[in-house]
């Protein structure tokens, strides 16, 4: 079964996007979501609807950073679909990065399966973030 084309389109950060972002696994989801919304309100981050076959299947939040190089950084992505959309999302985000004059794409994840899928698509581990509960 061939998957329909994934399309990314600009949109405001609406209630549905906030609900999708709330489903992402994070240690401090409310602080993270507040930070994400501040990034969006400030204009540093942009929101995209992830559409499959004309229907909304997810949300992607990204920003373009320009420090050592111009890089598209995926801040959050969530999709609900009966098939694994990861390869199509990677391709769509990479196309978006090229359109924005970026030379690389990066994302953070705590999901081992996404690390494996990313490596299969040519991504490499570029940073490790560690945490320890002390209370």
Strands 55-66 and 70-79: antiparallel
pLDDT at 123: 96
Is the pLDDT reported for residue 5 higher than 90?
A: no
If pLDDT is split at 50, 70 and 90, which confidence band does 3 have? low
pTM score of the predicted model: 0.84
Coil, strand or helix at 101: coil
Indicate whether 28 pLDDT > 60. no
Has residue 94 got a pLDDT over 90?
yes
pLDDT (average), residues 15-42: 78
Domain 6-120 belongs to what topology? Aminopeptidase (3.40.630)
What residue ranges do the domains of the chain occupy?
6-120
CA–CA separation, 84 and 82 (whole Å): 7
> 29 falls in which pLDDT band (50, 70, 90)?
low
């Amino acid at each position: 079964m061939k998957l329909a084309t994934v399309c990314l389109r600009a949109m405001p950060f609406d209630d549905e996007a906030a609900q999708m972002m709330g489903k992402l696994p994070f240690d401090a989801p409310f602080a993270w979501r507040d930070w994400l919304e501040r990034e969006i309100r400030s204009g540093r981050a942009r929101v995209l609807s992830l559409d499959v076959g004309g229907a909304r299947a997810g949300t992607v939040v990204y920003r373009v950073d320009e420090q050592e190089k111009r890089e598209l950084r995926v801040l959050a992505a969530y999709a609900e679909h009966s098939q694994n959309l990861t390869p199509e999302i990677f391709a769509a985000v990479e196309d978006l990065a090229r359109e924005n004059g970026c030379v690389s794409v990066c994302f953070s994840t705590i999901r081992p399966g996404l690390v494996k899928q990313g490596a299969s698509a040519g991504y490499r581990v570029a940073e490790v973030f560690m945490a320890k509960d002390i209370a």
